[in-house]
Amino acid sequence: MTNLTVDGARIGYRTEGSGPGLVFVHGTGPGSVIWRGFAERFAGRNTVILPDLSGSDPVEDDGGELTVEALTRQLAAVIEDTGRGPVDVLGFSLGAVVALSLAATRPDLVRRLIPVAGWSHTEDEYLRNALEIWHRLGGDSAGFARFSMLTGFSRRHLNEIGRDAVEELAAYFVSTPNRLRQVDLNRRVDIRHLLPLIQAPTLVIGTARDALIPVETSRDLHASIPGSSYAELDAGHVAYLERPEEFDKLVRDFTA
């Protein structure tokens, strides 16, 4: 693990493999650990870069309000520190928001861009209310965990994996102060003004069965990013776990 200090926050990143740089940016949750078992698939052809940004469990900071701008500066600092830029950047959920912001404000660092299950604003009433409920459940750790699980995975997937695995997932998504900081930022996202500035070749990936971030938000991203491509997976929010082979192929084909 390599550690950096950015704006007073002590963040970190790790790398695996060799070759062109490919960054996986985590969303709301514990951090880069969410990519365990998936990012390693690319280590044979890429230098996989796995940052932990503020709000993730390993990061030490002042515990204050998170902003897209601060997380973008942290991601930029990680890429610069690796010396691998420009790199391909894949961002999931809140990580998609940060990746989009980076591509718009630091085009020198982004070769190709893949936002997954992302959004650009919260004026959509479904999304606004879903995020509001998620945040309000912060005081009920068990309720927060089950809501996170239900909105993270499709009904089909939960039934496929069975009750024991579902209960294990529910225990994984418990509420923490850092997770609530991330959810609070989710509620305040508005990067619409940045989307027309994105120059990097972009593949927007939507998730058709997403109960948290409606798939229409990914379609809107595609429509707002000049020259972008679009693909849609028949999966819930955490598509790389529900449909790993299809997800893998999309990423490999686009970054080849």
Give residues with Cβ within 8 angstroms of 28, minimum separation 6.
55, 93, 94, 179, 182, 183, 186
Note down the domain range covering 30: 2-122+190-255
Give me the active site residues, please: 93, 210, 237
Is residue 211 domain-resident? Answer: yes
Is residue 102 domain-resident? Answer: yes
Q: State the average pLDDT over residues 196-200.
A: 98
Q: What is the pLDDT of residue 238?
A: 97
Is residue 176 domain-resident? Answer: no
| pLDDT at position 85 over 90 | no
Position of tokens 């691998």?
84
The secondary structure of residue 97, as a DSSP letter, is: H
* Beta-sheet strand order (sheet of 229-233): 2-6, 9-16, 47-52, 21-25, 87-92, 110-116, 203-207, 229-233
How does pLDDT run across 86-144, given as a tens digit for each residue? 999 999 999 999 999 999 999 999 999 999 999 999 999 999 999 999 999 999 999 99
Is residue 74 domain-resident? Answer: yes
Is residue 51 domain-resident? Answer: yes
Q: What is the pLDDT of residue 5?
A: 97
Is residue 128 domain-resident? Answer: no
Is residue 133 domain-resident? Answer: no
Q: Which of 58, 111, 70 is nearest to 94 (CA)?
A: 70
How does pLDDT run across 207-253, given as a tens digit for each residue? 999 999 999 999 999 999 999 999 999 999 999 999 999 999 999 99
What is the total count of domains within the chain? 1
Is residue 75 domain-resident? Answer: yes
Which tokens sit at 116?
């997954």
How does pLDDT run across 36-83, given as a tens digit for each residue? 989 999 999 999 999 999 999 999 999 999 999 999 999 999 999 999
Q: Classify residue 164 as exposed, middle or buried by CB count within 10 Å of its CB (0-12, 13-18, 19+).
A: exposed
Which tokens sit at 241?
């776990």
Q: What is the mean pLDDT of the chain?
A: 96
Q: What is the pLDDT of residue 220?
A: 98
Sign of CA dihedral 77, 82, 184, 180: negative
CATH number at residue 18: 3.40.50.1820
Give residues with Cβ within 8 angstroms of 109, minimum separation 6.
76, 79, 80, 85, 86, 87, 89, 102
Q: What is the pLDDT of residue 174?
A: 87
